[in-house]
Amino acid sequence: MSLMDFLLSWPLLILLLVKMIRRLFATFIEQPIQGQAADILPSPAPLPGRQFSNARLQSLSWLHAAAPCFPVRGDSITVIQDPKVFYETVVAKCASAKSRIILASLYLGIGQLETRLISVLRDNLRENKQLKINFLLDFNRGTRGKINSRTTIMPLIEESENVSLSLYHTPVLRGLTKRFAPPRWNELLGLQHMKVYLFDNSVIISGANLSNDYFTNRQDRYIMIENKTLADFYAGLVGKVQEFSLQVSKESSFELQNSWKHWPYEGNQSVFVQEARQRIFSYFSEVVDKQKNAVDMEKDADTWIFPVIEMGQLGIHHDSIVTKAIFQNSLPSTRIRMATGYFNLTQEYMDSIADCQAECAILMAHPNANGFKGAKGPAGGIPDAYTLIARQFYEKLRAAKQEHRVSLYEYQLPGWTYHAKGLWYYLPNSNLPAMTLIGSSNFGERSVNRDLETQVCIVTENPDLQRRLEAECENLYRLGSAAESDITQRDIPRWVRAVVSVFKNFF
Mean pLDDT per 10-residue section of the chain, whose length is 507 residues: 39 47 44 43 61 85 93 97 98 98 98 98 97 98 97 97 98 94 90 98 98 98 98 98 98 94 96 97 93 72 96 95 96 97 92 96 94 73 88 93 95 96 97 98 93 98 98 98 92 83 67
Asked about 366 being catalytic, the answer comes back as no
Superfamily in which the 75-298 domain is placed by CATH: Endonuclease Chain A (3.30.870.10)
Active site residue 193: yes
Q: Where are the domain boundaries for CATH 3.30.870.10 in the chain? A: 51-73+300-506, 75-298
200 is catalytic: yes
pLDDT in tens, 27-36: 343 444 443 4
End-to-end CA distance of the chain: 33
Question: What single string gives the DSSP state of each residue in 157-187?
Answer: HHH-TTEEEEEE--TTS-HHHHHHPPTTGGG
Catalytic residue among 193, 262, 318, 324: 193
- pTM for this entry: 0.91
Give residue-wise pLDDT tens across range 210-238: 999 999 999 999 999 999 999 999 999 99
Instruction: Point out the catalytic residue in the list 132, 200, 373, 504.
Output: 200
CB atoms within 10 A of CB 474: 12
* Confidence (pLDDT) at 297: 63
- From residue 57, alpha-carbon distances to 38, 60, 87, 321, 324 in Å are 23, 6, 34, 20, 18
Around Cβ 135, how many Cβ atoms within 10 Å?
26
Per-residue confidence (pLDDT) for residue 241, from 0 to 100: 98
Calpha distance 507→504 (Å, rounded): 6
Catalytic: which of 195, 240, 324, 419? 195
What CATH class does 51-73+300-506 carry?
alpha beta
